[in-house]
Amino acid sequence: MILYLFKRVISFYKFFKIDTPLFIFIILLSSLGLLILYSSSGGSMNLVYKQLIHLGLATSVMLIIAQIPPILFLRSAPILIILGIILLILVLFFGSSGGGAQRWLDIGIIRFQPSEIMKIIVPITIAAILSEKTLPPRAFPVIISLVVISTVVLLIARQPDLGTALLIGASGVYVLFFSGFRIKVVKNIWLNLTILLSFFISSLYFAWNYLLIAYQKKRILTLFNPESDPLGSGYHIIQSKIAIGSGGLTGKGLTQGSQSQLDFVPEQSTDFIFSVLAEELGFLGFMLLIIIYSFIIYRCFSLSLRCEDNFSRLLGSSLTFVFFTYIFVNIGMVSGLVPVVGVPLPLISYGGSSLMTLMASFGIIMSIHKHKSPRYLQ
């Protein structure tokens, strides 16, 4: 009887197009996340139960998306980007506000953040544009891609949500990078670099004086000298660095961290949960986290590079690099290396919408690996 049930489970599992190693790493990391979430909430199971529900829903989304052939993502790219831009425009006029920003659409049944789904739509769209011809792409597809990326970034930055805007812009630029495109204004390499550097510096000047608002400038300045306002804008970074540094090699133990348990660390279940992990599990806990992340990134890149068509390779590689970027930005943010931009730690921080987007990305990576590409795409 047990053997029969085991065979039935195996046959049911094989029905789904799931990459087993990647799935195991995701479950391991999610389990570590639940453990740290339990500790960050002072031993309460309330947030853990809620996160389990989020994980169940997000895993279901991943399984469903993994069954969709990549050709459907390619064909639906124009519809997806148009729909996404319309939703972002609706946010500016009819969005609901919270925390000083207008980022959500409330349609009664559900309240959601359109910028979250753009984290997937933008890479799909840019990969679809660039994969129509041989790589590296010509100038026209690159220009169209830059127009799409700029439009989405400006709409999200207007909410205002500059951190998410830049990260979504980066997701589109990653596709351009993996496509092998080259920026060549003039033939002379040194003159070309001078022109590009001048453009970059001019863009920074324009952004600082005309795009960034007061609190965004303050976050950047605080990065370089958080002690200038220890009870205000520098408080988050200072307390987080104290928590990370006090963890030592083995940490203080679960629910034993003074900074986290006494609520010195802000947002300790969401954006700053890495501080809790570093304080209570120490350097060894940090290394365990990095090892699991490294396995996931390696596996995703490996699956992406095995794909037979340009669209799948570009999409899988860019989604993997987006995952790496969120890890780097979050850990850098709580360590005082990059400005505080409100980015959760993937599969560790509490939250539903970001987890749903992340698991959908893994579903796409599994899909492009498990489904064979049509001949005309190869």
The answer to whether position 12 is within a domain reads no
Does residue 38 form part of some domain? yes
Contact at 8 Å (CB) between 266 and 235?
yes
Assigned domain for 327 exists: yes
Instruction: Name the DSSP class of 110.
Output: -
Q: Is residue 285 part of a domain?
A: yes
3 inside domain: no
Domain-located, residue 112:
yes
Q: Which domain holds residue 27?
A: 21-373
pLDDT (0 to 100) of residue 5: 61
Contacts of residue 122, Cβ cutoff 8 Å, sequence gap at least 6: 81, 84, 148, 149, 152, 168, 171, 172
Host H or E run for residue 354: helix 353-370
Classify residue 11: in a domain, yes or no.
no
Other CB atoms within a 10 A radius of the CB of residue 178 amount to 21
In tens digits, the chain (378 residues) has pLDDT values of 666 566 665 665 566 668 889 999 999 999 999 999 998 887 778 888 999 999 999 999 999 999 899 889 999 999 999 999 999 998 888 777 665 566 777 776 777 788 889 999 999 999 999 887 777 788 788 889 989 999 999 888 888 777 888 889 999 999 988 888 776 655 666 676 777 788 778 877 777 777 777 767 777 777 677 776 777 777 778 888 888 888 888 888 888 877 877 778 878 888 889 998 999 999 999 999 999 999 999 999 999 988 888 899 999 999 999 999 999 999 998 888 888 777 889 999 988 888 999 999 999 999 988 776 554 455
Q: What is the pLDDT of residue 183?
A: 65
State how far Cα 319 lies from the chain centre.
8
What is the DSSP code (8-state) at residue 210? I
pLDDT value at residue 151 = 92
Tokens at residue 24, please? 């195991």
What is the pLDDT at residue 376? 44
Helix, strand counts (H, E) of the chain: 14, 3
The tokens for 366 are 């599994």
Q: How many domains does the chain have?
A: 1
* 270 part of a folded domain: yes
Q: What is the pLDDT of residues 178-199, one digit of tens each?
A: 888 776 655 666 676 777 788 7
